[in-house]
Amino acid sequence: MARMRAVDAAVLVLEKEGTSCAFGVPGAAINPFYSALKARGTIRHILARHVEAASHMAEGYTRARSGNIGLCIGTSGPAGTDMITGLYSAAADSIPILCITGQAPRARLNKEDFQAVDIAAIAAPVAKWAVTVMEPYLVPMALQKAFYLMRSSRPGPVLIDLPVDVQLAEIEFDIDAYEPLVPFKPAMSRGQAEKALKMLNAAEKPVIVAGGGIINADASDLLIEFAEVTGVPVIPTLMGWGAIPDDHRLMAGMCGLQTSHRYGNATMLEADFVFGIGNRWANRHTGSVDVYTKGKKFFHVDIEPTQIGRVFAPDLGVVSDAGAALKMLLDVATEWKTAGKLRDWSGWARECQDRKKTMKRKTHFDQVPLKPQRVYEEMNKAFGRDTTYVTTIGLSQIAGAQFLHVYKPRNWINCGQAGPLGWTLPAALGVRAADPQRNIVALSGDYDFQFMIEELAVGAQHKLPYIHVVVNNAYLGLIRQAQRGFSMDFEVSLAFENVNRKDDPEAGYGVDHVAVAEAMGCKAVRVRRPEEFAGAFKQAQQLMKEHQVPVVLEFILERVTNVSMGTEIDKITEFEELAEHHEDAPTAIVMLD
C-alpha cells in the first residue's frame, strides 16, 4: 500500500489494463492527470489539434487491433462537449473508447464556474457509462468498472469526469493488488445451436449475414470455417466486411441501399433463410423491412439482448457473443456433416458465384476530368491484399465499398452508423499509432477531408505516415445526389474561383488541398489524367516511406457523377454516365438492366 495522488493511481490502473497510447489536448482542469502521465512516462501521448479529432483517433486505435482500447483526454467544458461526436460514433458501432475529462473543483459545481458543465449528463445517452467521480479513492475503482463495462457484452465507450481537486487528493492504493475484472460475454448453448441448424437444414437457399460483432469477437476464422463446413454463402454487412475475403468462393457480396454489390442484393432477394450473426439489421443494409424479409425466415445471434427483435422479430433469436456462437455452431455442424445429417447447398452456392461473376458495375472510364469509378479500379491495382482502408461517409465511401476489395478483418475501418464528416483523417492517424507496419489508405471526398484537415499537422509532428486518397469534385456529392428528389442543387457546391490559383487549371475547384497539405508538413500529389495513375501511386508510396508523414493523393474528378443506390434493395438505380455533359449540370444517364 502506498500513498499517492488519485491521478497517479489512475495512470497505474491504465497501465495494468493495457493502455499504452493516448490522444488528447491538455488544459487547466486536466493538468494534474497530465502531470501523472509525464511522471510515469509509460503511455505515449499524441497531441491532437481538436478534441473531437482526438476521440476519433482513439476510435481508430481501438478498431485497428484486437484488445486495444483507445484513450482520449481533454480538459473541462468544451473539451468534453467536443468528445460527444466521438462517443456517439463509438457507441453506434460498438467500439470501446475511454474518454477522460477534467472538471471544476467539487465546490464550484453547479455555480456556473468557468468551463464547468455537467458533461456526465450530456454524455450519458451516447456512452455505456458516464460519471463524475466525486470521491478520490473511487478514481481507480471507476476506471476498473469502466474497462469491465467497455469489454463486457456489447462493447462501447465510457466517459470519466474528474474534478481537479479529486485528481489532486491523496489516497492509499496498492497497484500490486489490482487485477482487471473478467468481462462478461454470453455464450450459445448446444441446444440453441441444434435448433438453429434444424432451421438451416429446412432451407433451400440460405445465406449467412456476417456483422461487425464477428470482427469484434475476432471470430472471422470461425465464420469462414462454419461457412465452408455448411457450404452456405456469406453476405457481410458494411461493419463485417473483411470477415470473409472478397475472393472467397462463398463470399456472396454485400447487400444494401448504398454500400452494396448488385450480386449481393440479388442473392439476398433470392434467399429463403437468413442466418444473422453479430449484426444489427441497419436500415442502409435492409431498406424497408417488408421488402427485406419477404419470403424468408430469420435466425439472429447478437451479444446484446435488446438488439434481437429491435428492427423486426426473427423466427429464432439467441443472445451470444459471435465467437462463442460460431464455435458452438461449428461443432454441431461438423458432427452433423460427418453423420450425413447436413443438407447440401452446393447448387445454391454455384448460383451465387455465377451472379458474382456476371453482375458487375462498369469502372473503366478514360474521361478527363476523371470519373470516380476509374479511381477505385486503379486503387485495386495499386494496393495489395493487406491494405487497410479507413473512411466514413459520402459518395467516396459508398463508391469505395462498391468497387474496392477487402480480404482481412479490420482492413475496412469505417464509421458505419454515425458517419460524421471529418472522421477519416484522425481515425487513420489512430490506426497508424496502433500499428506502425500496416499499409493504410484513407479515402475521403473533399468535404470530409476539409472538416478536420488541421489534423494533418498531427501526422507530420508525430510521424504517422499513411496515404490519404482525396477524390475532389468540389461538391457535397451525396447530398447533391439526394437533392435530385427535390429537383434542386442548392448550397452543396464547394467550388469558387480561388484567387491564389490564377494559373492553376483547378482554380475553380476552390481549396488547394495540395498547398494545404504541404503547409501542414505533409506531402501531396495531384492526379488529373488516367495515364498519371500508376506513377502517382508509386510516387505517393515513395514519399510516405522517405518522409514518414501523411501523403495526400488528390484525384480531380468531374463535378457530377451519380453513384448507384436506391430506396429499396430491389430498386437500386444503376447509373452509367455518358461521356459528354456540362460540368455543372446533372449528369445524363442511361438505365442498366
Q: Which residues are catalytic?
A: 25, 51, 421, 476, 479
Q: What is the DSSP string of 171-190?
A: EEE-GGG--PPPPP-----H
The residues near 116 (Cβ < 8 Å, ≥ 6 apart) are 76, 77, 103, 104, 108, 109
What is the C-alpha to C-alpha distance for residues 551 and 533, in angstroms, rounded to an integer?
15
Q: How far is CA 41 from CA 30, 44, 47, 162, 302, in A?
A: 17, 7, 15, 21, 40
Q: DSSP class of residue 106? A: G
What is the C-alpha to C-alpha distance for residues 489 and 578, in angstroms, rounded to an integer?
20
Q: For the chain, how big is the Rg over CA atoms in Å?
A: 25
Residue 4: count of CB within 10 angstroms of its CB: 16
> Locate cell 506502425: which residue?
436
DSSP H/E element including 403: helix 395-403
Could you tell me how far CA 348 lies from the centroid of its own chain? Answer: 32
What is the C-alpha to C-alpha distance for residues 281 and 308, in angstroms, rounded to an integer?
10
Q: Are 426 and 442 in contact (CB under 8 A)?
A: no
| Burial of 501 per CB tally in 10 Å (0-12, 13-18, 19+) | middle
